[in-house]
Structure 1
Amino acid sequence: MGEDVNGKKLILFLLDGVRWDYLDPDYVNLPGLKGIMERGVHVESLIPEFPSVSYPNHYSLMTGLHAQDHGFVDNDMYDVETGKTYPPDSGSEDDKSFWFNEAEPFWITAKKQGKSVFMYNWVGGDVKIQNERPNHFRPYSTVKKIKYFRHDIDDGLQALLNGLYHEGIDDLGHRYGPKSPEVTEWLKNVDLEFSRLTQKLEDFGATDDVNIMIFSDHGMTDVSLSRVINVTSVLPMENIKHVINGYGSRISIWPKDGFEDEIYRLLKNYDRHMRVFLKEDIPVEWYYTNNSRIAPLLLVADIGWYIDTPDFGFYHYDTGIMKGEHGYDPKLKEMHGIFIATGPNFAVNYRSASIRNIDLYQIMCLITGVEALDNNGTWSNVGMFVSGSGLNSASFLVILLIVFIANIL
């Protein structure tokens, strides 16, 4: 279990693409996760930021900020001032750092405050942010096998502060749809690893010394070829500077100068299953206006609908057409994720209504003795989750084990 240190440990799991109701015992029996839920805190669902996709919500979880405030506004991005795109065309250090530097994530703050940080396969974990990197890192790679997940958990238990990535559930949700047999089977396999981890902590007599937080970034819903909105014929591409198709759930459009109003009028009433927003009219509850990386025009499909654009089409995998998607309005329950936690610094058998994912950042900081930066979270939403003494002690040992189970789009 590593060296004996005077303090509590925090193991933090981020499971990408795990929808809130995947933990419903009427859906599938997950004894490992069920045991953690029964011993600690369980919220009804975890509400993502808009758009309800991976990268913006990964950064919201680790900064406590809305996407407009941390600058990672989508999985794919365009910076109109520089012409840069994300993922970056080059592998240069400056190009990578450019996209992350509008905010400082938890792992960088922890490093600056003297914590030893190890990031495995975390998107951005190998990037120099605010002129800092983790003490150790392994760049992101697409590894899905459970045996690697198990290895990284074991390896992480030896580290002081560790973050790692593993993908699976989100990928299968996209390929086969939410609650498909493939998703169900993978959930069972992952759950076995949580049972194994719990047993290992008991064998080491470490249960009372370790805090565990498990959360996901977003949910998933069914999509099909019968619910497609094709805007190809109406989009005047000659008057458009740049388009990003967010895999059907939302489209970002940068018109050429002088054509914004014309394109808006063409699209506004094009289809009743698609909402069209000028940037200044995006719903205030999405907190998705005040950043130059957000496009002047935003198209958002109704839940389960897919917007097609020129040269994109309906997304295909090697297994066939995409059957699951996210990125829709975050208030929709299908887009919600999970949060459960247990350990000496968490309440026992505590159930809560849904909360926003930006609220969790403050818990991580409090438990680990890291001084939190300014954030958009609300402590009163989560303060009752925490119990125990010594939470502000700088002597706390932290193991940060961040596990993504997903294929990030």
Structure 2
Amino acid sequence: MFNKRALSILIVSSFLSHQALEVEGNKVILVSFDGFRYDYLEDVDTPNFDAAIAAGVTAPYVTPAFVTLTLPSHFSIVTGLWPESHGVVHNIMYDPVFNETITPETRNQSKWWDMGAEPIWQTARFQGKASGSYFYFGGEVEIMGLYPNVYIGNNDPTVPWNERIDTVISWFLDEDIDVITLYFNQPDNVGHYNGIDSNERRDMVRQCDDTLGYLMEKIDENGLTDVMNIIVVSDHGMSEIFDDMKIELYNYIDPNDVYHVIADYGPVAMIQPKEGRLDAVFDNLKDAHPNMSVYMKEDIPDRFNYRDHYRILPIFAISDRPWEIATKWVPNGQVGGHGFDNQDMTMKNIFVATGPDFKTGYISEPFNSVDIYPLLCQILQLEPAPNNGSLEIVKTLLSSDVGGAVSSRGDFFTVVVSGLVCLYAVALLSQSDS
């Protein structure tokens, strides 16, 4: 007979030794300015962006995930997955299993996000590091059983921008956080309602520049310069749109033939026909308008990486820029829009980074937004979760002394397994005492 008490102590000691796993690496703050087009720095004086580029790295542009909308694009950045892989396929996605459409009131529910993807804040936590999120989409949601260590959701646009910076700096200092994602809803909003060539848009870019300057100032004041990497990104670009360039689906199909339609939100539409009406609806739409391409789901072009998820509905349509698709068009005051083909230059987004792990004054080749997740993991020395990104181009942004990512994922799962065994040992111990 074995000694249950001795075995229990041995297992518990092994578990605690795994708990002491240390993973090194510098800190990262990922800042997203929504709708910041790749060329917005060209017609505005932006001394702080200029300083960050001179001291760090940039790319001519980044190609966002398709569809080029806020929720799917943001989640692709922090997971390294295309929307067909992470499941957040639209801002107003419909889930046939739930028979529900996401809303601003329900989008903090796990069921919309927890589809198997692992965002950077969970990758960090799984491997012994601490993470935070401020207004970043998905950052206030329980995913894979975890939240970030610290987070603020609700995305209240009235919170002063410098106050957000003060909060995340306090997290780095007081909570010893390793990676934080921070979101601002501009210049997207002014791009929609004032236009890309407006003074309001230029003023907002200046505000973004001031905010970056304030962040760099606070990092310096608090002695974080030697350990803090700043990465500034956006989710998509922006294009001019016009009220007289709308394609109205209900001019071509009978509303009684469809069960659910996602439209009225840019250039992409998805349609769930009623049973037995799939071919009829498709035939009515496929040649309906010269500026709209219509596909059965299985025929969506490979380059979109937008086909292999059940939330992508059976009929898919996309319009040529600047045309947009509606069921019946109702003017909404918008003069700028996005959601178009991610190869369209107006949809490209910004990338600027500076800090101890980046080169100085370096301009890389363009890359994809899904490449940012493996870049984050490399800086933080984390083993990435499975993803669609590539480190090949983005690793050229890093200084030569940035080491390879550590293989600590196995250690994490050893901790989990050890923990389960530890619980079993405690049960044995209880039996031996009884």
Superposition CA RMSD, Å: 2.1
2:69 paired residue number: 53
Deviations 1:113-149 (A, max 9, x none): 222222222222221111111222222233156xx11
1:254 paired with 2:298, answer no
1:37 paired residue number: 53
Contact 1:62 1:106 survives alignment (8 Å):
yes
Distance apart, 1:256 and its partner CA: 1.0
One-letter code aligned to 1:271: H
Deviations 1:269-324 (A, max 9, x none): 111111111111111001111110001111111111122214xx3452xxxx1111
2:202 paired residue number: 184
Instruction: Report 1:90-129 matches (<5 A).
Output: 96-102=109-115, 103-129=117-143
Distance apart, 1:392 and its partner CA: 5.2
Instruction: Report 1:331-370 matches (<5 A).
Output: 331-370=343-382
**C-alpha distance 80-196 of structure 1, shift in aligned 2 (>3 A):** closer
**C-alpha distance 56-346 of structure 1, shift in aligned 2 (>3 A):** same
Question: How much identity, in percent, do the aligned residues show?
Answer: 33
**C-alpha distance 189-174 of structure 1, shift in aligned 2 (>3 A):** same
Q: Could you tell me which of 115, 135, 145 is aligned with 1:131? A: 145
1:399 paired residue number: none
Q: Secondary structure at the match of 1:208?
A: coil
Counterpart-to-counterpart distance in 1, 2:402 and 2:392: 20
Q: Which has the higher helix share?
A: 2
Contact 1:97 1:127 survives alignment (8 Å):
yes
1:381 paired with 2:399, answer no
Counterpart-to-counterpart distance in 2, 1:204 and 1:101: 36
- Aligned residues between the structures: 377
Counterpart-to-counterpart distance in 2, 1:97 and 1:315: 33
Q: Secondary structure at the match of 2:29?
A: strand
Distance apart, 1:61 and its partner CA: 0.5
Counterpart-to-counterpart distance in 2, 1:207 and 1:388: 19
Q: Secondary structure at the match of 1:118?
A: strand
2:20 paired residue number: none
Contact 1:71 1:100 survives alignment (8 Å):
yes
Contact 1:140 1:165 survives alignment (8 Å):
no
Contact 1:144 1:168 survives alignment (8 Å):
no
Distance apart, 1:84 and its partner CA: 2.3
2:414 paired residue number: none
TM (norm. structure 1) is 0.87
**C-alpha distance 8-89 of structure 1, shift in aligned 2 (>3 A):** closer
Distance apart, 1:200 and its partner CA: 3.6
Counterpart-to-counterpart distance in 2, 1:355 and 1:89: 34
Contact 2:25 2:380 survives alignment (8 Å):
no
Distance apart, 1:254 and its partner CA: 0.5
Distance apart, 1:376 and its partner CA: 0.8
Q: Could you tell me which of 317, 325, 330 is aligned with 2:342? A: 330
2:227 paired residue number: 209
1:283 paired with 2:294, answer no
**Structure with bigger gyration radius:** 2
**C-alpha distance 373-345 of structure 1, shift in aligned 2 (>3 A):** same
Q: Could you tell me which of 254, 274, 285 is aligned with 1:236? A: 254
TM (norm. structure 2) is 0.82
**C-alpha distance 238-108 of structure 1, shift in aligned 2 (>3 A):** same
Counterpart-to-counterpart distance in 2, 1:106 and 1:372: 9
Counterpart-to-counterpart distance in 1, 2:37 and 2:102: 26
2:93 paired residue number: 77
Counterpart-to-counterpart distance in 1, 2:376 and 2:72: 18
Counterpart-to-counterpart distance in 2, 1:89 and 1:8: 36
Q: Secondary structure at the match of 1:299?
A: strand
Distance apart, 1:204 and its partner CA: 4.6
Q: Tell me, which stretches of 5 or more residues in structure 2 are unaligned?
A: 1-22, 407-434
Contact 1:213 1:342 survives alignment (8 Å):
yes
Counterpart-to-counterpart distance in 1, 2:186 and 2:369: 21
Instruction: Report 1:156-175 matches (<5 A).
Output: 156-159=168-171, 160-161=176-177, 162-175=180-193
Counterpart-to-counterpart distance in 2, 1:283 and 1:261: 19
One-letter code aligned to 1:35: A
Q: Secondary structure at the match of 1:365?
A: helix
Distance apart, 1:381 and its partner CA: 1.6
**C-alpha distance 277-322 of structure 1, shift in aligned 2 (>3 A):** same
Q: Secondary structure at the match of 2:121?
A: helix
1:141 paired with 2:143, answer no
Contact 1:108 1:134 survives alignment (8 Å):
yes
Higher RCO by CA contacts (8 Å cutoff, separation 6 or greater): 1
Deviations 1:48-81 (A, max 9, x none): 1111111111111011011101111111111223
Counterpart-to-counterpart distance in 2, 1:326 and 1:220: 5
Counterpart-to-counterpart distance in 2, 1:166 and 1:269: 40
1:151 paired with 2:163, answer yes
Contact 1:52 1:218 survives alignment (8 Å):
yes
**C-alpha distance 19-128 of structure 1, shift in aligned 2 (>3 A):** same
Contact 1:345 1:391 survives alignment (8 Å):
no
1:309 paired with 2:334, answer no
